[in-house]
Amino acid sequence: MTYDSFLNKSFQITFNVPLPLMSNWKDYFLKQINKAFENEDSAKNEVNDVFYKIYRLFRINNLKQNQAPTPREIKMLINKLVALYKEFRDEIPLTLQALYALHEKDIVQSGSNILDGSFLDPSEKNIIQDKEWQMKLAALHFKQDIKSAEQILLEKPIELVLSNGEVSDLFKTTPVYILIVICEKVFTENINNWVENDPSRIALSALSLEKSIPEEDSRRWVNIWGILLEGIQHVEKWSGLGEKVGEGLKCLLKYLPTNQYEDVGKKILNLLAKTKELMPEEAQDETK
């Protein structure tokens, strides 16, 4: 017996129920979200504005499915939003909590795609109107306060910038205290490995810092420079030499205490000379 014949035999009369109209489910959505937050005093004043923005966010995402949402889908989103609100309260705007609830499955575990927001529709950004939306989404994603989440989110991208000797807008947009915490963590955890296996990354990190840190902030970075300077004094063999590595070493030597400059400088020059002697002629040309 086929599926169709079974249905026809079991149900002799069928009714075709039309999908709910857009205006109908809009009213249903707003009614349900009002009901869900009716006992939350801090959310009561948001009924007319924020709840309507949340409806708009839901509508944008639902339009991609090319059909009206079911009551179950609406209730699932609202239930998820209530759970988030109980955890984060007013620490993060309700519209951003809703945005996270809608896109939780789109965010990779590391949270790296939060920075570019590639999973968002441009109109969603226009609705939320929040300059710090990435960090607040990160807080929701990592279940942390905003400052801690910012550190977790930016650690890998900043480490990549440093290890390549590059300049990034991250150094302009990230608060200095966050940058210092991240750099201290990256350097402390990696410096011994770099000394043994890839000392060029010490020099490249120095180059990146020198190009990225405003001169007026240099005093706040003394301890960070100290970690790198301590590292280069234990390098026994340089590798991966090139113009950028040379520039980075010059930057580091600028921050050496006067009483160490001659001894450390001589050691680095001697090691570089030995390294260059062992290099193929083609590679030597690149270091000139």
pTM of the model: 0.74
Based on the fold, state whether residues 137 and 167 are members of the same structural domain: no
- CA dist list (Å): 9 to 4, 12, 127: 9, 6, 51
pLDDT band at 253 (very low <50, low <70, confident <90, very high): confident
Based on the fold, state whether residues 115 and 191 are members of the same structural domain: no
Contact 224, 183 (CB under 8 A): yes
The tokens for 168 are 């990034």
Summarised one tens digit per residue, pLDDT across range 112-168 is 999 999 999 999 999 999 999 999 999 999 999 999 999 999 999 999 999 899 998
- CA dist list (Å): 201 to 59, 155, 175, 267: 48, 16, 24, 18
Please report where in the chains the tokens 């001589």 appear, as a residue.
266
Region of 182 (left: φ > 0; alpha: ψ -120 to 50; beta: rest) is alpha
SS3 letters for 53-73? HHHHHHHHHHHCCCCCCCHHH
Q: What is the pLDDT of residue 69?
A: 87
- Where in the sequence is the domain holding 47, given as residue range(s)? 20-143
Based on the fold, state whether residues 207 and 138 are members of the same structural domain: no
Does 1 fall in a domain? Answer: no
Q: Let me know if 156 is exposed, middle or buried by CB neighbors in 10 A (0-12, 13-18, 19+).
A: middle
The tokens for 269 are 């020059």
Nearest alpha carbon to residue 160 among 190, 181, 139: 190
Does 3 fall in a domain? Answer: no
Based on the fold, state whether residues 219 and 259 are members of the same structural domain: yes
Q: How many domains does the chain have?
A: 2
Contact 88, 99 (CB under 8 A): no
pLDDT band at 5 (very low <50, low <70, confident <90, very high): confident
Last residue of some domain: 143, 175, 195?
143
Does 9 fall in a domain? Answer: no
Query: Dihedral of CA 140/146/150/151: which sign?
Result: negative
Q: What is the pLDDT of residue 47?
A: 55
Nearest alpha carbon to residue 242 among 212, 211, 199: 199
Last residue of some domain: 87, 115, 143?
143
Please compute the mean of the pLDDT values over residues 20-49 and round it to a whole number.
75
pLDDT band at 279 (very low <50, low <70, confident <90, very high): very low
Distance of CA 97 to the CA centre of its chain: 17
Based on the fold, state whether residues 69 and 173 are members of the same structural domain: no
